[in-house]
Structure 1
Amino acid sequence: MLALLLSGFAAPGLIGIVGFGLFFLGGHQAGYSDGMDVFFFVLGIVLLVLELLVPSFGILGILGAAALVRAILFSFEDTATATIAMLSAFAAAVIVVVLIARRFKERGIWNRFVLRERLTSEEGFVPSSSKSSLLGQAGTTVTPLRPAGIVDIGGERIDVVTAGEFIAQHARVVVSRVEGTRVIVKEIH
C-alpha cells in the first residue's frame, strides 16, 4: 500500500515482501503450516494482479482477497488468534497509511489524477458567456432544427436545440429556456 502512496515500489514493497516471507516462514518453522498457506497467499496476489489487468467486475479481486485471508487464517494454530492478529494488523496498517498519506500528500500516486491548474481569467482562460440574455427573444431558423441547429437572433447566429420536435428552415422561433450555454427554442405558430 505504501508503495502506491509514495509512488515507488523499492523500500515499501521490499519491506512488505520480506515481512510476509518472515510471517510464513515463522509459521512453517513453528509447525502450524503445511505449505498451503503460502500457496493461497501467492494465488491471492496473482488474482489481485489479474484484477488490475482483466475486466472481471471485481470477481478476481474478491477471490484474491479471500485467498489472502485463507492463507493468513490457516497459518496460525487456531482461528481466534489468527482473527485477532489480522484485525490488529489491519488497524495498525490503517493508522500507518493515514499518517504517511498526510505526511507525503504532495508525493502520492493520486496526484497524477488531480487537476492542479485553475481555469481563471488571470491565467488567460475565457469562460463561455452566458446566454440568459436571449430568453424570450425571437429569431428565424437558418438550418432545420432536428432537434439541434442554428437560429439567427438579432443578426447573430446561435446554436440552439428544441425540446425534441423538428422545426423547418426559415421558421420563426422564440427562446423558451436557457440552461447555461444551452439555448432551447420553440416554434412560433
Structure 2
Amino acid sequence: MRSVRISIYSIFLLAAFLLLLFPPAAQSDGEGKLVYYIPVEQTVERGLLAFMERSFEAAAEEGADHIVLEVDTPGGFVDAAGRIASLMNNTDIPITAFVVNEALSAGAYISLIADNIVMMPGTDMGSAAVIDGAGNAAEEKSQSVWLARMQDAAEKNDRDPKYALAMADNSISLPEYRAGEGELLTFNAREALEADYAEAIVNNREELLEFLELEGAIEREMEVSFAEQIARIVTHPVVVPILLSIGSLGLVLELYSPGFGIPGFMGTGALLLYFFGHTVAGFAGWETYILFGIGIILVVIEILVPGFGIFGILGIGAIIASLVLGSYSTANIMVSILIAAVVTIVAVILLFKYAGYRGPMKRVILSDSTNTEKGYISNVTRNELLGVSGEALTVLRPSGTALIEDERLDVVSEGGYIEQGRKVKVISTAGSRIVVREVSDNG
C-alpha cells in the first residue's frame, strides 16, 4: 500500500516538473473569433447604405464577433447617415470605428455611433455642419435636428457632448482646439484621445486587434461589388438629374434623327443606368420597370397614332411615376425631373428652329407646303384683261359686277362711285382682284 502511494506521488511530482519545464501555450482571447472589416469610404449616401446593409447582414449570418468600420469619408447626406446610424444601433454585434484617414461631417456622426473609436496617426474627425446642395448652411430646423443627433451620438458612449456640438455648430468656441468663433471643431488623433473621443491610436489592423483583445481572430473583409460601385455613383443626388437629362434629351434627339443612333443609345443607356443603380441600392423593383415600359409604349402610340393626347399624357405620367417609385427621395427626384424637362424643352426649341424635322417625327408632322413653285395656284391673275373695256352691270360702291368681253366678273372700282351702265376699263389685276376705272364714251 505504501509503495503504491509513493508511485502516485512520484508521478504527480514528475508531471509538475514537466509542466514547469514545458508550460502549455497561452491561448489568445480572440482565437476562433470572427472580425468583419467594412469600408466606409467616399461620400455617405444611399448607395453606401445599401452596401452596409448587405455587409451587416452577412456579418450576422456568419456569427461575427466584432465589426470594424474603416472610416475614410469627407461626409455626405444627413438622411443616409441617419439610416446608417439606425442600422448600427439595431445590431447586437460590437462595432469599432477605425478612422484610417478622415471622418468628417456625416463620417464623424457615424463614428460617434460606434461602441469604440480608434484612430490612426495623422487622421482627423469632426467638421460636421449641415449644408444644402449649394454648399450653404442648411435651414435652422435642419440644423437643430442635426445638433440633437450629434449630442445623442456623443452621450451614447459617455462622451462630453460639447465637442460633438462644436463639430456641428460654429458658434461654439473652443480655441484650445483651433475652433474659434465661426470655426467648426476638428480633432486630430491625439486631441481626440485627450478629449476621450477616441479609445486608442494604432498604426495598423494588427495593433487594432491587439487593443480589442482579438489577436488571432479570423478576419473577413467586405468589398464593394462592381454593381454597388455603379449604384453608389448613379444614386448620387447630383448625378440623378444629369442622367435624366441625358435620357430625355437623347430620346427626343432620336425622334429627329433617321434610324436608331447615338442619341437613342445615350438616352436609353442613361435611363437603364438610373433604374439599375436604384435597383441594386434596393429602391427600385420590377414594378418600376413594368411601369416605365408601359409609359414608353403609350408615348410611342401617341406619336405614331395621333389622337387627342390621352395616350401621351398617360405615358408621360407612367414614366414619371416609375421614376418616383424607383427613387429614394420624392423631393429630389421631382427636382431632377424638372431640371431634365427644362433641358429637353430648350433642346426641342433649338431643334425646331435650326434643325427641322427628321427621323420618325417626319411621319406625323406635315412639312409640305402648297406654293407656286410646286404648281399650286390659288387664284389666276388675269393679265390678259389689262386695258380691256366693259360695262358696269351693277353699281360699283366700289365693288360690284361688270361685263368684260362677254364675261361677268367681280370687280372693284379704282376708288370712286360708278353708276350702273357706265363704261369701265380694267387698269390692274392681282389674283382674283380686278380693278376698273370709269371711262367716257369718247375715251
What TM-score do the two structures reach when normalised by structure 1?
Answer: 0.60
The residue type paired with residue 255 of structure 2 is L
Deviation of 1:5 after TM superposition, in Å, equals 2.9
Deviation of 1:66 after TM superposition, in Å, equals 0.8
The residue type paired with residue 407 of structure 2 is R
Deviation of 1:87 after TM superposition, in Å, equals 1.1
Deviation of 1:75 after TM superposition, in Å, equals 1.2
Deviation of 1:38 after TM superposition, in Å, equals 1.0
Mapping of residues 30-49 of structure 1, within 5 Å: 30-49=281-300
Deviation of 1:107 after TM superposition, in Å, equals 5.8
Of structures 1 and 2, the larger Rg is shown by 2
- In structure 2, the residue matched to 1:29 is 280
Distance 1:107 1:99 in 2: 9
Distance 2:409 2:290 in 1: 63
Mapping of residues 1-189 of structure 1, within 5 Å: 1-54=252-305, 56-98=307-349, 105-106=354-355, 108-109=357-358, 113=367, 115=369, 119=372, 128-129=380-381, 137-138=392-393, 153-158=403-408, 181=432
The residue type paired with residue 18 of structure 1 is G
Deviation of 1:67 after TM superposition, in Å, equals 0.5
Distance 1:58 1:9 in 2: 25
Change (3 A) 1:65 1:18: same
Change (3 A) 1:41 1:182: farther
The residue type paired with residue 392 of structure 2 is Q
Distance 1:126 1:112 in 2: 19
Deviation of 1:15 after TM superposition, in Å, equals 1.3
Are the equivalent residues in 2 in contact too, given 1:7–1:108 (CA < 8 A)? no
SS at match of 2:293: helix
Change (3 A) 1:118 1:53: closer
The residue type paired with residue 72 of structure 1 is L
Are the equivalent residues in 1 in contact too, given 2:299–2:316 (CA < 8 A)? yes
Distance 2:256 2:403 in 1: 54
Q: Which structure is richer in relative contact order (CA contacts within 8 A, separation 6 or more)? A: 1
Deviation of 1:65 after TM superposition, in Å, equals 1.1
The residue type paired with residue 137 of structure 1 is A
The residue type paired with residue 138 of structure 1 is L
RMSD: 4.2
Query: Which runs of 5 or more residues in structure 2 are unaligned?
Result: 1-251, 395-400, 411-420, 422-430, 435-443
Distance 1:53 1:126 in 2: 32
Change (3 A) 1:19 1:127: same
Give identity over the alignment, percent.
Answer: 26
Distance 2:270 2:289 in 1: 13
Distance 2:294 2:305 in 1: 16
Deviations 1:10-57 (A, max 9, x none): 111121111111111111111111221111110011111122344542
SS at match of 2:407: strand
Query: Which runs of 5 or more residues in structure 1 are unaligned?
Result: 140-150, 161-172, 174-179, 184-189
Change (3 A) 1:159 1:64: farther
What TM-score do the two structures reach when normalised by structure 2?
Answer: 0.28
For these two proteins, the number of residue pairs brought into alignment is: 150
